[in-house]
Amino acid sequence: MNSQWNELAAIKRELAARDWFPGTSGNLSIKVSEDPLTCLVTVSGKDKYKETESDFVLVDEDGRPLTDQGKPSAETVIHLEVYKKTDAGCSLHVHTLDNNVISELYGEKGSITFRNVELIKALDIWEEDGEFTIPIVENWADLPKLGKAISEKIKPDTKAVLIRNHGITVWGRNAFEAKRHLEACEFLFSYQLKLLHAKAANLKEVL
């Protein structure tokens, strides 16, 4: 479990450096065993910019704590749904301004699709006319309901789900891949928002 702890701590440090944990938001997990399913998940309500010896707690497949670092993330159920539905080894959830605004702009549509942007290759889309879609679910306060809503949106090629006006949950087979996927998604959100602004301001007319 030591190596998974260190890997998750390193990711947490890197995401903190990007300022992706405002107001104690966000939670991270890494799978420790497949059968039975166990994972290390961030302790609920902590300042994720700080590093302590009780940042993570081991949980079982029902989210019950198996070690005594504290209360597992309130959103542990989402991480567990991801592990149960995919081959993920690491799951990351962050609230950023860009992912919140995108989730609201495209919330009614139920998804956002990116094409013709080089960085979709970081999400393993290499075809000439490839596209990458992120489903968007409502932000149900009932967390098991939210977990189920996310689980229902996960298809074989899904790598991330947006929760409306809340944040993103993104995963990968390992921590490196999960972080690459998260960085790519956040790049795409920022790109899309800048593109929408440029179009609204008719910037092409100026050129």
Ligand X SMILES: CSCCC(=O)C(=O)COP(=O)(O)O
Chain residues that interact with ligand X, rule: CB under 6 A: 23-27, 42, 44-45, 73-75, 93
Q: Which does 159 bind (CB under 5 to 8 A by kind): ligand X, Zn ion, none?
A: none
In the bound complex, what is the minimum distance in angstroms from residue 124's beta carbon to ligand X?
26
Q: Choose between 95 and 159: whose C-beta lies nearer to ligand X.
A: 95
- Cα 20 to Cα 97: distance, rounded to the nearest angstrom: 9
Only segment of 9-17, 140-148, 165-173, 187-195 that touches Zn ion (CB under 5 A)? 165-173
How far is it, in rounded angstroms, from Cα 42 to Cα 47? 10
* Least Cβ distance, residue 139 to ligand X (angstroms): 9
Class of residue 161 by CB neighbours under 10 A (exposed 0-12, middle 13-18, buried 19+): buried
Q: Is 181 annotated as a binding residue?
A: no
Are 162 and 99 spatial neighbours (Cβ–Cβ below 8 Å)?
A: yes
Q: For residue 49, give the DSSP letter.
A: T
100's contact among Zn ion, ligand X, none, with CB below 5 to 8 A by partner kind, is none
> Choosing among ligand X, Zn ion, none, which partner's interface includes residue 81 (Cβ < 5 to 8 Å by kind)?
none
Q: Transcribe 112-143 into DSSP letters.
A: EEEES-GGGGGGT--STT-EEEEEEE---SSH
Q: How far is the CB of 191 from ligand X (least distance, A)?
A: 24
- List the binding residues for Zn(2+): 93, 95
